[in-house]
Each structure stands twice: as C-alpha cells, then as structure tokens.
Amino acid sequence: MAELKITKDNFEDEVLCSDIPVMLDFWAEWCGPCRMLAPTVEKIAGDYEGKIKVGKVNVDEEPELASAFRIDSIPTVIIIKDKTVKAISLGYKPESALTALIDKEL
C-alpha cells in the first residue's frame, strides 16, 4: 500500500478508527530533510503493508492537524495506536530508527 495523504477530512477514518498502528509523516515540499526522508517512508509503507498504515501530512496544506499535534519542526514522524500517540521522532532519521519505533507497537 502506498502512503495515504492524510487531511483533516479523512483523519478520523484513516487514523483514529484504524485497527492497526498508523505512522504519520509531517512534512512540507520546501523541506530538504523531508525530501531526504520520503524514500524511507515509502519503503516502510511497502515493507509493513498490512501491519501498519503510513500517512503523510503536508503541514502547509493541513495547518489544523499540524497544530493539533504541536508540530513545530519537520520532518516529524508520529506513531499512533489505539487513538494514542505512542512515539515521536523529530528530524531526519535512518530507516532502522523508524522501524524500531514501529516494531515496538506491533
């Protein structure tokens, strides 16, 4: 499954009502580290298909979601399970760091 584009309109259905953990990548087009992280996020979406959902939240297009999660630097990756934030990763991180966060919630 490819990454999902998460918006305020589909957030409840795709994230809060998800029966599997969700990894959200808060990013922006102009952010260099976000662009560096994008291939890793895409790979994780493929590698963990069926085990987690991977969503991308463009902070410029979805300021309400960014504000709700108090995003003040990007990229920020958040793991949500059972409607609760379980982990937060700030800045660019290697794939191994992100998969470690995910594996703890599976």
φ and ψ of 93, to 5 deg: -135, 150
Query: Where on the phi/psi map is residue 92: left (φ > 0), alpha (ψ -120 to 50), or beta?
Result: beta
> Which one of 15, 23, 31, 37 is the catalytic residue?
31
Calpha distance 17→29 (Å, rounded)? 28
> Which one of 24, 34, 65, 66 is the catalytic residue?
34
Respond yes or no: is residue 34 known to be catalytic.
Answer: yes
Amino acid at 105: E
Asked if 28 contacts 60 with a C-beta cutoff of 8 angstroms, the reply is yes
Active site amino acids: 31, 34
